């Protein structure tokens, strides 16, 4: 009985560790909008300006990210699953007034 409890506890620890490791991996940031009562990923027209502004937004909010060679931004997977937060960051990156006010801090 003691072996079963130890094995179950060890399996639980490994599963929890794997989950947290997975959530801390990086994935590509994809701009998002809320239309027709659902979140939809979009393609931005001037993507280089958008991603430059997005870096300012992420820096302002102290969000860890990685910029890769082709201009894409990688964020931790735990942020990627929060669609409302992604929407907020997308709106700020597209808002020239916000960028002028807070982007150069």
33 found inside a domain: yes
Average pLDDT, the chain: 88
**Does 58 score more than 90 pLDDT?**
yes
Q: What domain range is 87 assigned to? A: 26-102
Strand order in the sheet with 26-28: 26-28, 73-76, 65-67
39 found inside a domain: yes
pLDDT at residue 46, as a whole number: 65
76 found inside a domain: yes
12 found inside a domain: no
To the nearest whole percent, how much of the chain has pLDDT over 90?
Answer: 44
What tokens does 14 get?
Answer: 């490994």
Distance of CA 64 to the CA centre of its chain: 9
21 found inside a domain: no
Read off the pLDDT of each residue in 18-29 and give the average, rounded to a whole number.
87
**Does 105 score more than 80 pLDDT?**
no
**Does 49 score more than 90 pLDDT?**
no
Q: How many structural domains compose the chain? A: 1
């Amino acid at each position: 009985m003691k072996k079963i409890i130890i094995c179950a506890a060890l399996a639980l620890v490994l599963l929890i560790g794997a989950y947290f490791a997975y959530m801390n991996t990086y994935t590509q940031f994809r701009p998002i909008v809320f239309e027709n009562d659902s979140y939809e990923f979009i393609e931005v027209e001037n993507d280089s300006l958008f991603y430059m502004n997005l870096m300012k937004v992420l820096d302002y909010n102290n969000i860890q990210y990685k910029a890769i060679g082709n201009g894409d931004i990688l964020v931790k997977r735990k942020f990627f699953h929060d669609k409302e937060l992604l929407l907020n960051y997308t709106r700020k990156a597209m808002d020239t007034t916000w960028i002028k006010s807070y982007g150069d801090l």
